[in-house]
Amino acid sequence: MMDLSRLPTIYIPEIKDEHIATYGDVSNDFNPLHFDQKAAKQAGFSDRIAHGMMTMGISTKLISPWLSSNCFIKEYESSFHHPLFIGDSLQINGEIVELSCSFARISFKGINQRRQIVISGKILVLRTFKR
């Protein structure tokens, strides 16, 4: 885990209806904000929005190469700044803020094609040592 010196850039060229439908099915989240344009507009959005938890899940791809039987996510914290709409792109970049043989602290930001920050956060990955 800890020999990785930098994090990959995660890029989704377009959030599609299929992403929303699949995530709705696996999460059982059928909130009309994600599926009904009229409901989204009534709530003050210009269009349907992606699930926040889906966006969070995509961000964990930053650290997926590190996860193994002896590495795990200890803490995950995120904030949403702008909605992610169907049709938007999403680019997530991370930075290793602190690194030791037993943990890594990571900060990340996800931006859309308008260069708006959609999500930001911190992840703490711990490594356990087998005896």
List, for residues 12-71, the tens digit of each pLDDT value: 999 999 999 999 999 999 999 999 999 999 999 999 999 999 999 999 999 888 787 788
> Where along the chain do its domains lie?
10-16+50-127
Predicted TM-score (pTM) of the model is 0.89
pLDDT (tens digit per residue) in 74-130: 999 999 999 999 999 999 999 999 999 899 999 999 999 999 999 999 999 998 876
pLDDT number for residue 129? 76
- Phi, psi dihedrals of residue 125, rounded to the nearest 5°: -105, 130
Q: Which residue has the higher pLDDT, 122 or 2?
A: 122
Q: What are residue 93's DSSP bridge partners?
A: 109
Kindly report the CATH number that applies to the domain delimited by 10-16+50-127: 3.10.129.10
In this model, does residue 9 exceed pLDDT 90? yes
Residue 62: closest CA among 102, 103, 94: 94
> Hunting for tokens 């899940």 — which residue is that?
57
